[in-house]
Amino acid sequence: MDYSKIDDWHPLTLPSKGLYYRDANGNDLCPGGEVQISPWKTYQEEAMIKYGGINSSEFMSKLLQNNLQLPAGMTTDDLLMTDEFFILVQLRCLSLTPYATCPYTCPQCNNTEPVQVNFLDMDVVCPDETWPDEPVRVELPVSGHTVDLRFMRVKDLAAIQSYEVKSNHEASSSHYLARRVKAINGQPVKDFLQTRELLDKLVMLDSQILASALDEYETGYVMQTEIACKKCGFKYVAAIARDASFFRPRRIDLERQAQDLRESRQRS
């Protein structure tokens, strides 16, 4: 992707490769996972900021509506959560900078130092020919239930957030799992709150097997980086935090991108 052409729409391949986007007849809605993005401008941010803070879900929803082109028949609600996050990272890279600097503490000597990572260099997990179609059927050893699971989508998170607002209660992990259940013992699920009540009654072995059933098939960014401590030399792997600097990068990261662009223009 050429990030120097800021006024163009840029093709982008989603980590899922479009594998899990199909209509009711089984036709591909997003062949190959191909979409397009464009950088957001200052006037767009000023118009969107009224929908919430820069890191709010409302702001991000408006950002995707304005700066993402999906194939006909698809909406942002249909996106896998992992694909949505990938798109947001790419929009950040295109519109601001791919660099992110965060403090990390060495587990060996407790030295804390800033480390700069480049999202464009991070590993991205994509499906291969061995990956299953949706839904994935899981047989629970204790209860004997068979549960059909699908991957978490943007609309699922919206439903959970709506529940939290209406009930004035924070959603539990079983709420999130219930949204991924498509059928139980061959019977389609219609109310995820009722499904959640059933899940809460499962023996822990069943619960853990169900909750981890799709872990190995999660696409998208591997949000971690390897760090070599400058003080003691110890190497460790740390998770990359998504903090307030995600859409408000630190100046050091903006300056690094500005320098990259200047050097790119000089070479061309």
Other Cβ atoms closer than 10 A to 126: 14
80 in a structural domain: yes
- 263 shares a domain with 241: yes
pLDDT at 59 exceeding the cut of 60:
yes
Backbone angles phi, psi at 13, to 5 degrees: -100, 120
Q: Please give the Cα distance from 268 to 265 (Å, whole number).
A: 5
Closest CA to 49 of 57, 59, 40: 59
Is 142 found in the same domain as 105? no
Is 3 part of a structural domain of the chain?
A: no
Spatial distance between the Cα atoms of 37 and 69, rounded to a whole number of angstroms: 6
What SS3 state is found at 11?
Answer: strand
Strand ordering across the sheet containing 10-13: 10-13, 34-37, 68-69
Whether residues 55 and 117 share a domain: the answer is yes
Q: 141 by DSSP, 3-state: which?
A: coil
* Inside any domain, residue 24: yes
Note whether 33 and 88 are same-domain residues. yes
pLDDT at residue number 55: 58
224 and 210 within one domain: no
Residue type for position 112 = T
> Each residue of 180-229: pLDDT tens digit?
999 999 999 989 889 999 999 999 999 999 999 999 999 999 999 999 99
Does one domain contain both 158 and 63? no
Is 180 a member of any domain?
Answer: yes
| Across 138-159, average pLDDT | 95
Chain-centroid distance, C-alpha 225 = 17
Same domain membership, residue 79 and residue 49: yes
Q: Do the domain assignments include residue 63?
A: yes
The share of the chain scoring above pLDDT 70, in percent, equals 93
- Is the same domain home to 226 and 109? yes
Lowest mean pLDDT across 23-32, 51-60, 247-256: 51-60
How big is the CA angle at 73 (ends 71 and 76), to the nearest 5 degrees? 75
Domain assignment present for 114: yes
Pair 147, 193 in one domain: yes
pLDDT for res 6: 55
**DSSP assignment string, 43-94:** HHHHHHGGGS-TTSHHHHHHHHHHHEE--TT--GGGSBHHHHHHHHHHHHHH
Domain around 79: 10-126+219-267
Average pLDDT over residues 137-146: 97
Same domain, 153 and 53: no
Residues 119, 48 share a domain: yes
Supply 163's token pair.
Answer: 């529940």
What is the total count of domains within the chain?
Answer: 2
Q: Work out the number of other CB atoms within 10 angstroms of the CB of residue 164.
A: 13
Percent helix, strand, coil in the chain (nearest 5)?
A: 40, 20, 40
- Whether residue 192 is contained in a domain is answered as yes
With tokens 């992110």, the residue in question is 100
71-114, pLDDT tens digit by residue? Answer: 999 999 999 999 999 999 999 999 999 999 989 999 999 999 99
Q: What type of residue sits at position 27?
A: N
Residue ranges of the alpha helices (H) in the chain?
42-48, 57-67, 81-95, 154-167, 173-179, 192-200, 204-211, 251-267
Q: Is residue 2 part of a domain?
A: no
CB 47 within 8 A of CB 103: no
Whether 31 and 38 have beta carbons less than 8 Å apart is answered as no
Identify whether residues 94 and 207 lie together within a single domain: no
Supply the pLDDT for residue 242. 74
